[in-house]
Homo-oligomer: A and B are copies of this chain.
Amino acid sequence: MNKKWNYSSFGIPDSYFIRGKAPMTKEEVRAVVMGKLRLQEDNIFIDVGAGTGSVSIEAALKLSKGKVYAIEYKEEALNLLEVNKNAFELNNIEILKGRGKTELNKIEAFDRIFIGGSGGELPWIMDHALQHLSQEGRIVITAVTLETLTSALHGLKDKGFQEVEMVSIGVSKGRSTGNYTLMEAQNTIYVLSATKR
């Protein structure tokens, strides 16, 4: 299918992305993440640990006057990121190769930041985000482990973010086997979000 991004700029099925072994925020959780980001079309948005780039791409399609910085350091994910960026014919995504800590310092100001994977740098990134986010800017974090959840939740509160919120999302997907529909569970994802005010 060519010109996939023309099909819909709001809501992209998982199957539209080229996927490897890089982790990908699944469709339903990605929808929740996009909602919590509360993007405006002229926003500067940073995706830390972009993986296959599904969040970067869905955001880029919405940011008709804005820009996405996709930070990633793993070689395989970087390749997929490039491939997907090209498949969706997007020119408002800039891929930054490196660790969050290093690359974030290269971006002067931003309005939205999503941290899907942080490799242990989460506290530093939260501090940086609080300093450099624009007023009313939004931070969204996903966690799959109890320790990241705790660190993110208490970090957001202690550092002084406002409107701190945490939800858990448990998705099961119906799979047909003959005349039966089996519900296949995905692991629960925790989505944290807050506003800089």
* Chain A positions 102 through 138: 1 when the CB is less than 8 Å from some CB of chain B, otherwise 0: 0000000000000000000000000000000000100
A188: contacting residue among B12, B36, B39, B172, CB under 8 A: B172
A11, A36, A144: residue with the most chain B Cβ atoms closer than 10 Å? A11
Q: Is the CB of A169 within 8 A of B170?
A: yes
A27 adjacent to B35 (CB under 8 Å): yes
CA distance A179 to B179 in the complex (A): 23
Binding site of A, secondary structure by majority: helix, strand, loop or mixed?
A: mixed
Cβ-neighbour of A181 out of B8, B32, B166 (below 8 A): B166
CA distance A143 to B182 in the complex (A): 10
Which A21-49 residues have a C-beta within 8 angstroms of B? 27-28, 30-32, 34-41
User: Is there contact, CB below 8 Å, between B184 and A187?
Assistant: yes
CB distance A149 to B146 under 8 Å? yes
Cβ-based interface call for A91 (8 A): no
A2 at the interface (CB under 8 A from B): no
Given contacts A145-B180, A185-B170, contact A32 B32 (CB under 8 A): yes
CB contacts (< 8 Å) of A153 on chain B: these are 146, 174, 181
With A11-B38, A40-B9 given, is the CB distance from A146 to B167 under 8 Å?
no
Contact indicator B11/A37 (Cβ below 8 Å):
yes
Chain B residue with the shortest CB-CB distance to A26: B167
- B183 in contact with A168 (CB, 8 Å): yes
Assuming the A-B contacts A31-B34, A39-B8, are A172 and B187 also in contact, with contact meaning beta carbons closer than 8 angstroms in the complex?
yes
Could you list 24 examples of A-B contacts with CB < 8 Å? A8-B38, A8-B39, A11-B38, A11-B39, A13-B38, A28-B35, A30-B35, A31-B35, A144-B182, A145-B183, A146-B150, A146-B153, A146-B174, A146-B180, A147-B181, A148-B180, A150-B150, A165-B173, A165-B174, A168-B174, A168-B188, A170-B171, A172-B187, A182-B187
